Amino acid sequence: MNFTRWSARLPGTQRRAAARADEAVSPAPPVDGAGAVPQARAEKPTDTDEPCATPAVDDLPVREVLDRIPALVALVHGPEHRIAYVNDAYAAAFGPRPVGEPAAEALPELDEIGLLPLLDQVLRSSRPRTVKSRKAPDGRSYTFTCTPVDTLATPEGGGVLIFAADVTDHAEAAERLRASERRQRETAVTLQRSLLPQELEEPDDLRIAATYQPGGTDAAVGGDWYDVITLGGGRTALVIGDVMGRGVRAAAVMGQLRTAVRAYARLDLPPHEVLQLLDGLAAEIDPNQIATCAYAVHDPNEGKLVYASAGHLPILVRDEKGTIHRAEEPTGPPLGTGGWMHASGSVPLGPGSTAVLYTDGLVERRGEDIDEGVAALENALAGATGTPQVVCDRLIRAAGVTADHDDDVAVLVLQHPARSGPDEELFRNAALELLGGVEAAPRARAFASGVLTSWRFPRELHDLGVLAASELVANSLQHGTPPMRLRLRRTDRRLIIEVTDGNDHLPRRRRAEPADETGRGIAIVATIASNWGSRRAPGGGKAVWCEFALPSVT
């Protein structure tokens, strides 16, 4: 194949051919003498101001240029893309190629990277196409540009000029950057998951499940977290939050806040006071980092969920009749903003109810109002039945959350099951109003003994329960104020004894001296019980409780 016949049709060669034709018909320059040297070989003038004659681009031989450039160049023609030319760089990369052979046979390297269909497209459309950073069999990466060449040199018609620029360095740098981003994301995901609860605590009265799903590979990990904390006395704290920002830093701040929440929860404070403490701590951890958080406490004796929210999305509750309740008020600003007095609210959570705490990744979508996402979640919750884990999975699917979701998602589902039959026998309550003076103590002992006998506890546990009830009542009668109440509660795992009164002063365990006549009641309770504690009641007063683990279901 005569390449010069092809090169005459390369882009721009029509103009160069026309220019050479004009020179051929123009008169030759005058000659000064027979021995004169032709102008093309004249020496460079040195004493004139005329510019030096330079060769025009149009006069450069195309093939010589293509042979010398470092990029890979090949020229094919016809529907089978038969080889017309490959330059030296191409031959050095893949070896010499026979002229006239079809590309499918003679250019296997192009076939391996899937370039042959692109040649067909370029030939049909007469428009150039580019494929970026394809790895060739020689191990290097190239960006291929295929340009149509309109030629009448062969009866087969047009051709395609293949130009391959070596971008190996750029491709390797990009791969190193992607690898670094993957490692950083894996580190953040590992840190995030390690800071979340490895196993959820299992309260006696609630069934709980949680799901955390990090954003897709193109999204950095955020600071979503959740937690379940058993407070004692049958009460349970539930927490969900979201640290603004992405990556390792957000995960680290999340871990510090979660640890702080667990520490503050052990103080058994009302939800709004816990958020008040977290607000100040968040500002100390990082003044530029803010977080949303919802903290709720469930008490089976009250049948409601008491909560406080710092800029977080509303808790949703489906009651036993299927009605959805949205716990919207009160809501304060996010943690870390400072200067705000948080307040607590409540939403009913009786037997048969299901509550959902979640982060914005579940309901927030680009181009949509977040209220629309919350409303869609309400509809999904209305029809989501089954165990808490099943409800979690159904809500995730209903929200369209997939592995490549662009934001982290955390969901916490809790159910207060309605019990009946033999299961109901394992969950009992009994209460006594403590009226009168010192005679209330023997009346409380008799009440506790009768209740524990009816619940068929072993003799040893019966006696310990009566002793604990007696000491707690005596302590309340001596240091508390009316109204006073003794409550006994049993679950499938423990016996809980609680005494409430109207005094805000919380008792503490102390070492009584031999001569002291008082101060040993709480020490006795702490010694014989599995756990004990005290807290201030929301409406004033306090509650002192202790609990005993049941050896077996009786």
Domains located in the chain, CATH noted: 60-166 (3.30.450.20), 197-416 (3.60.40.10), 422-549 (3.30.565.10)
Q: Is the pLDDT of residue 330 over 90?
A: no
Confidence at 7, pLDDT banded by 50, 70, 90: very low
Q: For 121, left (φ over 0), alpha (ψ -120 to 50), or beta? A: alpha
Question: Which residues have a Cβ under 8 Å from the Cβ of 234 and sit 6 or more positions away?
Answer: 203, 204, 205, 299, 300, 301, 489, 491, 496, 547
pLDDT (average), residues 501-530: 79
Q: Is the pLDDT of residue 31 over 50?
A: no
Per-residue pLDDT tens digits for 162-207: 999 999 888 889 889 888 877 877 776 777 677 778 888 889 999 9
| Owner of token pair 């200067």 | 339
One-letter amino acid at 330 equals: P
Q: Is the pLDDT of residue 220 over 70?
A: no
Contact 99, 83 (CB under 8 A): yes
pLDDT at 36: 44
Chain center to CA of 99:
56
CA 180/CA 171 separation, integer angstroms: 14
Mean pLDDT of the chain: 83
Three-state DSSP at 302 gives coil
How many Cα atoms are found within 13 Å in the side-chain-facing hemisphere of 472?
A: 35
Check the CA dihedral 171-177-183-186 and report its sign.
negative
- Rounded percentage of the chain residues whose pLDDT exceeds 70: 84
pTM (2 d.p.): 0.69
Confidence at 34, pLDDT banded by 50, 70, 90: very low
pLDDT (average), residues 91-106: 88
pLDDT (average), residues 46-52: 52
Question: Between the ranges 9-13, 133-137, 441-445, where is the mean pLDDT highest?
Answer: 441-445
Which one, of 195, 331, 359, lies nearest residue 271 by Cα? Answer: 331
Which one, of 105, 84, 107, 113, lies nearest residue 95 by Cα? Answer: 107
Q: Is the pLDDT of residue 41 over 70?
A: no
Confidence at 513, pLDDT banded by 50, 70, 90: low
By DSSP bridging, strand 331-332 and strand 291-299 are unpaired
pLDDT (average), residues 30-40: 45
pLDDT at 414: 95
Look up residue 445 and give its two tokens: 């002992």
Look up residue 74 and give its two tokens: 């090949």
Choice among 26-40, 277-291, 494-508 with the minimum mean pLDDT: 26-40
CA 158/CA 155 separation, integer angstroms: 9
Q: Is the pLDDT of residue 123 over 80?
A: yes
pLDDT at 286: 82
Per-residue pLDDT tens digits for 352-409: 999 999 999 899 888 888 999 999 999 999 989 899 999 999 999 998 888 777 788 9
pLDDT at 251: 78
Contact 353, 316 (CB under 8 A): no
Length, in residues, of the chain: 554
Confidence at 255, pLDDT banded by 50, 70, 90: confident
Q: For 176, left (φ over 0), alpha (ψ -120 to 50), or beta? A: alpha
Provide the 8-state DSSP code for 360. Answer: G
By DSSP bridging, strand 331-332 and strand 304-310 are parallel
Which one, of 437, 448, 513, lies nearest residue 480 by Cα? Answer: 437
Question: Which residues have a Cβ under 8 Å from the Cβ of 305 and sit 6 or more positions away?
Answer: 296, 297, 298, 315, 317, 327, 346, 347, 348, 349, 355
DSSP code per residue over 9-73: TSTTHHHHHHHHHHHHHSPPPP-S-TTPPPGGGPPPPSSS-SPPP---GGGS-HHHHHHHSSSEE
Per-residue pLDDT tens digits for 523-536: 899 999 999 999 98
pLDDT at 512: 61
- Rounded percentage of the chain residues whose pLDDT exceeds 90: 40
